[in-house]
Amino acid sequence: MKIAPLAEIKDHLSAYVEACKESPVVVTKNGKPVAMLVAIEDEDDLDSLLLANNPRFIEILEAGYRHIQETGGIKHDKFWAEMKRRRARQKNKG
């Protein structure tokens, strides 16, 4: 992992974009980390990064986890039966 000040990154952005393909580059401002350059190899990487940093998505995941902890969730067979029912309903609509 490389660490570089913002001014250096600005002056040599292309080089740091290439460097982040090997490992993340931490960007500092006044000696403190403020950002990180991370390579994106495909759209799945981008989707994962965006979701991992989306407060609303994290809130939904946490609410789901709490619900499972409180209720025990639903059984595997019941889940897939519901998915099958929903797909059939969608197919009939369209």
Asked if residue 6 lies in contact with residue 29, where contact means CB atoms within 8 angstroms, the answer is: yes
| Domain containing residue 67 | 42-94
| Pair (59, 23) in one structural domain | no
Q: What is the DSSP letter of 3?
A: E
| Pair (54, 76) in one structural domain | yes
Query: pLDDT tens per residue, the chain (94 residues)?
Result: 999 999 999 999 999 999 999 999 999 999 999 999 999 999 888 999 999 999 999 999 999 999 999 999 999 999 999 999 999 999 888 6
**pTM tops 0.75, yes or no:** no
| Pair (13, 29) in one structural domain | yes
| Pair (74, 92) in one structural domain | yes
Alpha-carbon separation of residue 13 from 39, 64, 75, 87 (angstroms) = 13, 40, 51, 47
| Pair (28, 71) in one structural domain | no
| Pair (49, 21) in one structural domain | no
